[in-house]
Amino acid sequence: MMGANKAKAALGKKAPNFTLPAASGGNVSLKDYLGRKVVLFFYPKDLTTACTTEACDFRDAMPDFTEQGAVLLGISIDDVATHERFIAKYELPYELLADTDHKACELYGVWQLKKLYGREYMGLVRSTFLIDEKGKLVREWRNLRVKGHVDNVLQAVRGE
């Protein structure tokens, strides 16, 4: 499903392509969006407090992103059925992609060792990437806090 391109994400370089199952049906590849700005946001889990806040913040700012010609793509390791419930419950107007084998997460360096209550485990670290119309990675926000994040991304999309 991932193809031969195993290049890791790096600022100023071409964003690694991936193909993942979409909640709307079928598969979505990053290369499908060449010619448009893409806001690619990785989040840990559907229907959890911080992820719901982030998803709804992106939802509420969707008209502003659309006005700037940007596409929003959300990725977590949840499956398509869970994404469908998340979209339905919160009326999310953008595509959610299922990276159940965390291949795209690994390409973008967001699948990392995490610690919680003294327990170590591998997990998805909340991160966002801005990809320009030529497919180049131009901004990244790693291990971010949700509060104010969508505003920061929108400013970057606007070139501010």
Q: Which residues are catalytically annotated?
A: 51
Q: Is 43 exposed, middle or buried (0-12, 13-18, 19+ CB in 10 A)?
A: buried
- d(CA 134, CA 53) in angstroms, rounded, equals 30
- d(CA 160, CA 101) in angstroms, rounded, equals 36
Q: Which residues contact 78 (CB under 8 A, 6 or more apart)?
A: 45, 46, 86, 98, 100
- d(CA 58, CA 69) in angstroms, rounded, equals 15
Q: What are phi and psi of 81, to 5 degrees?
A: -60, -40
- d(CA 40, CA 50) in angstroms, rounded, equals 17
Q: Which residues contact 68 (CB under 8 A, 6 or more apart)?
A: 37, 154, 157, 158
